[in-house]
Amino acid sequence: MSKNILITGGAGFIGHQAFKEILINTDWKITILDRLSYAGNPKRIEEVINDLDKDYQNRINFLYHDLKAEFHEDIVSDLIETNIILHIGASSHVTRSVKNPLTFVQDNIIGTFNLLEFAKKLNNLELFYYFSTDEVFGPSEENVKFSEWDRYNSKNPYSATKAAGEELTIAYSNTYLIPALITHCSNVYGERQHYEKFIPNTIKKILDNQEVIIHTDNSNTPGSRYYIHNTDLAKTILFLIQNYENVKREALKVQKKEPTKINITGESLVSNLEVAQLISKNLNKKFSYKLINKDPNRPGHDIKYGLDNSLLSSLNGVYDRDFETGITQTVNWYMNNLSWLKN
């Protein structure tokens, strides 16, 4: 049975790949809602559509809207048959959140509130999917991985506003019986990522013979992340949506709480220095780097995060390619699409 899905942030890095995965593998009608800020680039949607048969275009609708504003009656009317809301749209850059915290409060808290208010008006809503981050739990010590319902420990305005969005989603689920799913995700990489992010930025710096900055802890140990490729993440997102009732049932057995929370993470922990070295290897180009501890321009940044994804693994919902394979594919893609490395 065909469904109607609304994807917020569908022109963003993660959102556009989720849009592509859903478009290709379902017969659903898709509405992309995006305000097209610096991170929401319509070129992503254009490139996805250009690679597909024109028949797919009949199932796509684009809605320009800033979630800081309430949904007007005409928008509600157009979207009243929505069955699924996939809420990916957010301000998501830690350094930007430190410099402009109010923007993140407005985008990530007020925006989520307005979307939940819209969700209350839908008679056929089957799922409100809130996409969150591993950063809500704060830094993890060695060998520590956080479970879905562990306590928040936000260290910067970005993660605090994402945690607040989670709490709003939980409150609306409990109060207004909105069926909800919340996922936390580790670092995402892959094609069409904004050039300010570490991997495309490092590719660009090595190509331009510029020094790569590697942030460290007090012992000069480079920061590290669990990485997941954006196409693997998109597969997991669709898996969770299509299997929501079973996911909810199995999660309740383990978590004893509602709504459902799921952790999504790559399997391999990789230091930022190792990432830069792999990029250098794939470019066949030497690079210079500088280790920096306590960068005054990066307060609130954590050295390492960690998520326990044993629940998702038990559901057979893990899609995770080998990181070295993924970084090779990513570097090759950028080398064939150099415009994505430009300001």
Band the pLDDT of 162: cuts 50, 70, 90: very high
Rounded Cα distance, 239 and 318, in Å: 9
Residue 146 DSSP symbol: B
Q: How confident is the model at residue 110 (pLDDT cuts 50, 70, 90)?
A: very high
DSSP string, 234-296: HHHHHHHHHTHHHHHHHHHHHH--SSEEEEE--S-EEEHHHHHHHHHHHHT----EEEEES-T
Q: Mean per-residue pLDDT for 250-265?
A: 96
> How does residue 17 score in pLDDT terms, banded at 50, 70 and 90?
very high
pLDDT score, position 298: 58
User: What domains does the chain contain, in order, with CATH numbers?
Assistant: 4-189+226-264 (3.40.50.720), 198-225+269-304+322-341 (3.90.25.10)
Most confident residue range from 36-50, 181-195, 211-225: 181-195
For residues 242 and 246, give the distance between their C-alpha atoms in angstroms, rounded to a whole number. 9
DSSP category for residue 334: H
Asked if residues 119 and 33 have their Cβ atoms less than 8 Å apart, the reply is no
| C-alpha to C-alpha distance for 342 and 189, rounded to whole angstroms | 17
pLDDT given for residue 10 in this prediction: 96
Q: What is the mean pLDDT of residues 174-180?
A: 98
pLDDT band at residue 236 using 50, 70 and 90 as cut-offs: very high
Q: Quick: pLDDT tens for 293-311.
A: 865 555 655 788 999 999 9
Mean pLDDT of 26-39: 92
Q: What is the mean pLDDT of residues 264-278?
A: 95
Mean pLDDT of 237-253: 97
Q: Give me the mean pLDDT over the 98-122 stretch.
A: 96
pLDDT at position 339 is: 94
Rounded-to-integer distance, Cα 150 and Cα 137, Å:
7
The Cα 187–Cα 264 span in angstroms is: 10
> Which residue is it, tokens 């506003």?
161
The type of residue at 179 is P
Report the pLDDT value the prediction gives residue 299, as an integer from 0 to 100: 60
User: pLDDT (tens digit, 9 = 90+) per residue, 273-292?
Assistant: 999 999 999 999 999 999 98
CA atoms within 13 A on the CB side of 226: 26
Whether 158 is catalytic: yes
Rounded average pLDDT over 21-35: 96
Mean per-residue pLDDT of the chain = 94
pLDDT for residue 39? 82
Express each pLDDT in 42-90 by its tens digit.
999 999 998 888 888 889 999 999 999 999 999 999 999 999 999 999 9
What is the model's pLDDT at position 300? 53
Pick the catalytic residue: 38, 56, 130, 158?
158
Distances (CA, A) of 339 to 202, 234, 272, 279: 15, 24, 24, 18
pLDDT at 294: 63
Max CA separation in the chain (angstroms): 58
What's the CA gap between 30 and 142, in Å, rounded? 42
Of 271, 254, 274, the residue nearest 262 (C-alpha): 254
